[in-house]
């Protein structure tokens, strides 16, 4: 496959109408942060000559998210329709999908002691497992500073003892976590969802909002995606 034939689809997190999804001090909103990182990742990948689409760019809901069910379920359904539309237009073998989120330990509006980065795929052995492996490789390379920050943060009590910088489940032979997440499960092409640290951990939020943190999170997505593209698509 040629570079120009590859379709990279980036997934933004949530809508501004969905409550919660915010740091307790209000400095980090997941929907905003995800869109900012995606703008960087898109620009970088396009500068290398790749086609990049975003499943849904506006912050607020759209009339296109109509139908029955909750706003959140209509939103997710819309995202899946966009991704699968591109898969049928271009062929799913030419597409990949990466949805970019920030994790949370609670929904009580308080700070918590959980932290770390992880990547989800759908259940079972699929091409998405290869994509997730490339994302983990890139996370290990780009989050070295965060690894040290967590070590130090544990000593200060900002993280509970059992926290690890990279959350993994190696029982099935790879590092990704598997869950029935809707956008990952329903999309036709290889699809993963990254949870980029925790919006309700004070130290994680500080890191995410720093220049170094933003660059690290954006760069890990660029490198992870390119790693997969070069190994499995080009
Ligand atoms: Zn999320």
pLDDT of res. 220: 98
Ligand 1 geometric centre to CA of 2 (Å)? 33
Q: Of how many residues is the chain composed?
A: 234
Ligand 1 geometric centre to CA of 11 (Å)? 11
pLDDT of res. 178: 86
**The two structure tokens encoding residue 44:** 């970088």
pLDDT band at 216 (very low <50, low <70, confident <90, very high): very high
* pLDDT digit string, tens, across residues 51-76: 999 999 999 999 999 889 999 999 99
Q: Please give the average per-residue pLDDT across 99-112, as a whole number.
A: 96
Mean pLDDT over each residue of the chain, to the nearest integer: 96
Query: Alpha carbon of 136 to those of 110, 115, 124, 177, 227: distances in Å?
Result: 29, 16, 18, 11, 11
pLDDT band at 213 (very low <50, low <70, confident <90, very high): very high
Ligand 1 geometric centre to CA of 210 (Å)? 20
Ligand 1 geometric centre to CA of 4 (Å)? 30
Q: Please give the average per-residue pLDDT across 119-130, as a whole number.
A: 92
- Alpha-carbon span 15 to 30, nearest angstrom: 9
Which of 201, 195, 203, 150 minimizes the C-alpha distance to 168?
195
Is residue 173's pLDDT more than 90? no
Ligand 1 geometric centre to CA of 27 (Å)? 16
Ligand 1 geometric centre to CA of 195 (Å)? 7
Is residue 168's pLDDT more than 90? yes
Q: State whether the Cα torsion 78-121-186-50 is positive or negative.
A: positive
Ligand 1 geometric centre to CA of 13 (Å)? 5
- Alpha-carbon span 59 to 44, nearest angstrom: 22
Ligand 1 geometric centre to CA of 1 (Å)? 32
Ligand 1 geometric centre to CA of 5 (Å)? 30
pLDDT of res. 67: 87
Q: Count other C-beta atoms under 10 Å from residue 39's C-beta.
A: 15
pLDDT band at 124 (very low <50, low <70, confident <90, very high): confident
Q: Please give the average per-residue pLDDT across 89-96, as a whole number.
A: 98
Ligand 1 geometric centre to CA of 14 (Å)? 6
- Alpha-carbon span 218 to 105, nearest angstrom: 22
148 sits in which H/E element: helix 144-155
pLDDT of res. 141: 98
- Alpha-carbon span 170 to 66, nearest angstrom: 40
């Amino acid at each position: 496959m040629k570079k120009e034939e590859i379709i990279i689809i980036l997934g933004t997190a949530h809508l501004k109408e969905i409550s919660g999804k915010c740091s307790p001090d209000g400095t980090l909103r997941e929907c905003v942060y995800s869109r900012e990182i995606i703008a960087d990742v898109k620009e970088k990948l396009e500068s290398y000559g790749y086609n990049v689409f975003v499943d849904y760019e506006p912050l607020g809901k759209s009339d296109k998210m109509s139908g029955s069910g909750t706003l959140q379920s209509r939103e997710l359904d819309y995202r899946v329709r966009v991704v699968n539309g591109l898969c049928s237009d271009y062929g799913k073998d030419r597409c990949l999908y990466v949805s970019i989120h920030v994790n949370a330990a609670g929904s009580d509006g308080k700070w918590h002691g959980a932290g770390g980065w992880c990547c989800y795929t759908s259940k079972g052995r699929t091409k998405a497992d290869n994509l997730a492996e490339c994302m983990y490789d890139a996370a290990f390379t780009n989050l070295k500073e965060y690894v040290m920050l967590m070590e130090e943060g544990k000593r200060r009590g900002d993280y509970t003892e059992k926290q690890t910088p990279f959350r993994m489940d190696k029982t099935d032979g790879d590092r990704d976590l598997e869950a029935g997440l809707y956008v990952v499960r329903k999309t036709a092409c290889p699809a993963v969802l990254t949870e980029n640290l925790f919006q309700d951990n004070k130290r994680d939020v500080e890191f995410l909002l720093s220049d170094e943190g933003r660059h690290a999170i954006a760069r890990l997505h660029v490198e992870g995606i390119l790693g997969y593209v070069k190994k499995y698509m080009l």
